[in-house]
Amino acid sequence: MYKIENHKVTDAARSRTHIDEAGYERLYRQSIDEPDTFWSDQAKRFLTWDQPWSKVHESDLSQGQAAWFIDGKLNVSVNCIDRHLETRGDQAAIIWEGDEPDQDKHITYRELHEQVCRLANVLKERGVKKGDRVCLYMPMIPEAAYAMLACARIGAVHSVVFGGFSPDALRDRINDADCQAVITADEGVRGGKRVPLKQNVEKALQECPNVHTVVTVQRTGGDIAWDSQRDVWYHEACAKVDADCPPEPMDSEDPLFILYTSGSTGKPKGVLHTTAGYLLGSAMTHHYVFDYQDGEVYWCTADVGWITGHSYIVYGPLCNGATTLIFEGVPTYPDASRCWQVVDKHKVNIFYTAPTAIRALMAQGNDPVTSTSRASLRLLGTVGEPINPEAWEWYYHVIGETRCPIVDTWWQTETGAIMITPLPGATDLKPGSATRPFFGVEPALYDPEGNELEGATSGNLVIKRSWPSQIRTVYGDHQRLIDTYFSTYKGVYFTGDGARRDEDGYYWITGRVDDVLNVSGHRIGTAEVESALVLHDAVAEAAVVGCPHDIKGQCIYAFVMPMRGVTPSDDLIKELKAFVAEQVGSFAKPDFIQWTPGLPKTRSGKIMRRILRKIACDELDSLGDTSTLADPAVVEELIANRQNRG
């Protein structure tokens, strides 16, 4: 085990970075004291505009309202492709590494331009117009990026649904956003297994009356059903259309995409991001946080189905003219060396992944790592959940051989871009801390009553002012945006996370303070799993909590009350797990299901999750006050039958 200690900005990092300590202090101060000047400078530097803005920014957070670069016009696909053609037409925009180690390809910016234009023309030909929503349900293939950019080119709004979601979850998302077209693949390939994407689309569309077009990429050639009215093959349709497509001029505040995410209550929310602010946020953070230097190869292992894939596989890197690596597979296939073999094969310089992947690889020992060179690596990053200091030190010592700074980046689907993070060359590192706010981000800690806490302390993390890449609305339900993020504390954005601030002003994210779980870096609402469980005929009531898990960060523990007349059994537990996988996706499957004749409730009928969490996590010493329960006896029964004993 490595000693857990603070790490100074290394000289190696400092000699190359875009910014140093003094530069960070100066720019951060300017971003807070003179935001209009700061953001104007950045927007000119990072983006290419068709028409400049008339006003930098306007917001009223109490109404959940924010607008940036008002009246400005630009097109995201032009910023990510066309403007690079002159200087980088022959540079790889995308390096694709397939699931099998012998499959890869390089796509230059020029090829990217052609592919995106062709698909944009196909969408246009099928009647997709500016403002229409298009659902993407894709494996990790270059066409996923083409599809996002093709939508951006014609002003259509994409809604990417992670390929691990079930047909039912896909259906709900298609209908909520009223998507009229879907782009998918015949099958996905991950870790040697096939994922029946088109078949899932087929099932979903049985209840999506408004979808008129499905464009299918041929990835495996597997057998699929076909509807000649609705279905077109990607390769056939793209071959028939023009290789150029004029970009649609978009307003700064025109929607760019919707991405569904889980909250503490109710169905997933369609987080809406708009054009200019989002693109600026993702490009600027990609530049400063990953310290991207011309010609480098950058690899983010996320899936494009999540926000990390949107901002840091596609939009940020391509806006900056980077070479971004898209990996179809998983870190442990064919074996636990895979990531480092890919790093050596493509000479990856910057590597960004989730703590859960680091912990899983760490559990396999050092040999799969030390058998590779990794000499090209110079910067490492993490995202998605708190990283435990032991895993941090392993990442630092074994993967990066103490040469690579680690950027622990805190942010959310709703924030669009990284918010709290070290900047290489500018921030001394403390393992487990996301450190300091990025430019323009004004974090604060509040107590439950809404008082701001000063100095070294812990509290609920809020953001006190608007930032360009912030969520603009919950699609179709602006009130829900206000209620979820801007009502807990009037006039500020509530993150849902708890945090500690130390004596150096460093932030340490402690995790969600609401009922959102983080399982292997996947964000899952307890309410989603609960509503899936109660849909099953055998279930009367269900309550779901998260427990710490060595590799996954958290695991899912469900308490289930059977319907009258149902006999609880192990087989039924198996069935329920499979049922959740079917309703939501297999990543949301409970690890433990415990039968119970009742749930602990307050006299007003509210489930006491605090108690359930303690029981599930085997923390019986700190059960707390159970006297307010309607029926305290139920607790004894729950304790006696708990599943997760340490």
Cβ closest to ligand WTA, residue 77 vs residue 409? 409
Please state, in angstroms and rounded to a whole number, the distance separating the CA atoms of residues 418 and 197: 30
Span interacting with ligand WTA, options 49-57, 106-114, 406-414, 559-567, rule CB under 6 A = 406-414
Task: Determine if the peptide bond prior to 35 is cis (ω within 30°).
Answer: no
Q: How far is the CB of 482 from ligand WTA (least distance, A)?
A: 19
Closest CA to 267 of 532, 479, 546, 483: 532
Annotated ligand binding at 334? The verdict is no
Annotated ligand binding at 384? The verdict is yes
Please state, in angstroms and rounded to a whole number, the distance separating the CA atoms of residues 615 and 642: 7
Cβ closest to ligand WTA, residue 393 vs residue 408? 408
**What single letter denotes the amino acid at residue 634?**
V
User: In whole angstroms, how far apart are CA 84 and each of 47, 48, 116, 294, 598?
Assistant: 12, 11, 14, 12, 62
Bridge partners for 607 per DSSP: 601
Asked if 425 interacts with ligand WTA (CB under 6 A), we say no
Cβ closest to ligand WTA, residue 362 vs residue 615? 362
Q: How far is the CB of 180 from ligand WTA (least distance, A)?
A: 26
DSSP conformation class of 165: B
Annotated ligand binding at 255? The verdict is no
Retrieve residue 405's tokens: 């700074």
Annotated ligand binding at 173? The verdict is no
Sign, CA dihedral 66-68-71-72, equals negative
Q: Please say whether the beta carbons of 287 and 350 come within 8 A.
A: no
Which residues 78-137 are close enough to bind ligand WTA by CB under 6 A? none
Please state, in angstroms and rounded to a whole number, the distance separating the CA atoms of residues 215 and 112: 18
Closest CA to 595 of 569, 630, 631, 629: 569
Q: How far is the CB of 549 from ligand WTA (least distance, A)?
A: 15
In the stretch 513-532, what mask flags binding to ligand WTA with x, by CB under 6 A? -----x----x---------
> Rounded to the nearest 10 degrees, how much is the dihedral formed by the CA atoms of 177, 513, 502, 429?
-50
Q: How far is the CB of 508 from ligand WTA (least distance, A)?
A: 9
Span interacting with ligand WTA, options 73-81, 340-348, 402-410, 593-601, rule CB under 6 A = 402-410
Cβ closest to ligand WTA, residue 172 vs residue 497? 497
How many other C-beta atoms are found inside a 10 Å radius of the C-beta of residue 554? 23
Asked if 278 interacts with ligand WTA (CB under 6 A), we say no
Asked if 413 interacts with ligand WTA (CB under 6 A), we say yes
Asked if 416 interacts with ligand WTA (CB under 6 A), we say no
Please state, in angstroms and rounded to a whole number, the distance separating the CA atoms of residues 116 and 103: 22
Annotated ligand binding at 410? The verdict is yes
Cβ closest to ligand WTA, residue 349 vs residue 495? 495
Name the residue with the smallest CB distance to ligand WTA. Answer: 413
Cβ closest to ligand WTA, residue 74 vs residue 360? 360
Cβ closest to ligand WTA, residue 353 vs residue 596? 353
Please state, in angstroms and rounded to a whole number, the distance separating the CA atoms of residues 43 and 29: 17
The SS3 of residue 362 is helix
Asked if 395 interacts with ligand WTA (CB under 6 A), we say no
The SS3 of residue 260 is strand
Retrieve residue 38's tokens: 């700061």
**What single letter denotes the amino acid at residue 106?**
H
Span interacting with ligand WTA, options 29-37, 237-245, 383-391, 588-596, rule CB under 6 A = 383-391
Annotated ligand binding at 64? The verdict is no
Contact residue for ligand WTA among 53, 411, 485, 494 (CB under 6 A): 411
Asked if 261 interacts with ligand WTA (CB under 6 A), we say yes
Cβ closest to ligand WTA, residue 133 vs residue 512? 512
Cβ closest to ligand WTA, residue 307 vs residue 343? 307
Annotated ligand binding at 412? The verdict is yes
Contact residue for ligand WTA among 46, 69, 137, 410 (CB under 6 A): 410
Annotated ligand binding at 347? The verdict is no
Cβ closest to ligand WTA, residue 35 vs residue 281? 281
Q: Please say whether the beta carbons of 425 and 18 come within 8 A.
A: yes
Sign, CA dihedral 408-410-416-417, equals negative
Q: How far is the CB of 478 from ligand WTA (least distance, A)?
A: 19
Cβ closest to ligand WTA, residue 376 vs residue 458? 458
Contact residue for ligand WTA among 186, 254, 385, 393 (CB under 6 A): 385
Q: What are the backbone dihedrals phi and psi of residue 519, each rounded to the nearest 5 degrees, phi first?
A: -110, 115
85 burial class (0-12, 13-18, 19+ CB within 10 angstroms)? middle
| Helix, strand, coil percent values for the chain (each to nearest 5) | 35, 25, 40
Asked if 386 interacts with ligand WTA (CB under 6 A), we say yes
In the stretch 286-325, what mask flags binding to ligand WTA with x, by CB under 6 A? --------------------xxx-----------------
Q: How far is the CB of 164 from ligand WTA (least distance, A)?
A: 13
Q: Half-sphere exposure of 134 toward its Cβ, with a 13 Å CA cutoff? A: 34
Number of residues that bind ligand WTA (CB under 6 A): 23
Closest CA to 302 of 162, 397, 400, 188: 162
Asked if 481 interacts with ligand WTA (CB under 6 A), we say no
Using the structure block, give the residue that is written with the tokens 């694709």: 96
Retrieve residue 369's tokens: 């790592």
Asked if 463 interacts with ligand WTA (CB under 6 A), we say no
Please state, in angstroms and rounded to a whole number, the distance separating the CA atoms of residues 574 and 431: 39
Contact residue for ligand WTA among 134, 445, 509, 572 (CB under 6 A): 509
Cβ closest to ligand WTA, residue 152 vs residue 417? 417
Q: What are the backbone dihedrals phi and psi of residue 119, each rounded to the nearest 5 degrees, phi first?
A: -65, -35
Q: What are the backbone dihedrals phi and psi of residue 242, each rounded to the nearest 5 degrees, phi first?
A: -65, 150
Annotated ligand binding at 42? The verdict is no
Span interacting with ligand WTA, options 114-122, 192-200, 495-503, 590-598, rule CB under 6 A = 495-503
Span interacting with ligand WTA, options 38-46, 216-224, 510-518, 619-627, rule CB under 6 A = 510-518
The SS3 of residue 85 is helix
338 burial class (0-12, 13-18, 19+ CB within 10 angstroms)? buried
Q: Which residues are annotated as a binding site for Mg(2+)?
A: 534, 536, 539
Q: Which residues are annotated as a binding site?
A: 190-193, 308, 384-386, 408-413, 497, 512, 520, 523, 534, 536, 539
Q: Which residues are annotated as a binding site for ATP?
A: 384-386, 408-413, 497, 512, 523
Residues at the site binding ligand WTA, with contacts judged by CB under 6 A? 261, 306-308, 383-386, 408-413, 434, 495-497, 509, 511-512, 518, 523
